[in-house]
Amino acid sequence: MQPCTISRKIDRPIGSVFEYLSDVANYSEFTEHFLADWRMTREETFGLGAGGRFREDLPFARFGWGDMAIVEYDAPALIVLAGRSGKYNRNRTLTVFQLSEDANGGTDLDLTIETNPVLPSDKFLEALAQNRARKRGWKKSLKRLAAILEHDRKRGPRATIAGGARKPATGLRA
């Protein structure tokens, strides 16, 4: 898929938007309508290396599982997530959040999505319907993200680590 950019204005300071997007466990709150069943890939869900695994709800997606992790993290302007999806995780994905401060003290958010399907069958399915569905899903996600940050509403479930607590400080019962 050619890179696709979606823009959204959020009436919150750039620091609070960056802080929220830096925690991958928050992504299930605003993407749960098309990226479901989130599982974190490690205990630390914040910052460089944090990532999650999810199921993408796209047309004709028989193998909808994918993952993404933060590979570049430049406060407070840039978060880059790289991942894989599709059958055998053979399709690479790149998701880039670019933040800038607007004149009113809010945040201009630009989301760029890019996928790299490997096989001709993957390219065909993406061209047939998945590109439009993915773009529509992310557009709705940014709208929900703005509602969460501006008005504290439309929150979905927050992702957790499979298997429960790992450390005594996180609630492990003896």
Domains and CATH numbers, the chain: 4-163 (3.30.530.20)
β pairing state of 78-85 and 65-74: antiparallel
CA geometry: angle 35, 160, 89, nearest 5 deg = 45
- Would you report the helix, strand and coil content of the chain in percent, each value rounded to 5? 30, 35, 35
pLDDT tens for the chain, residues 1 to 174: 678 899 999 999 999 999 999 999 999 999 988 888 888 988 888 889 999 998 887 766 667 788 999 999 998 999 999 999 877 778 888 999 999 998 888 999 999 998 887 778 666 666 666 677 778 888 999 999 999 999 887 676 677 666 655 555 554 444
Q: Which candidate, 55, 51, 85, 56, places its Cα nearest to that of 68?
A: 51
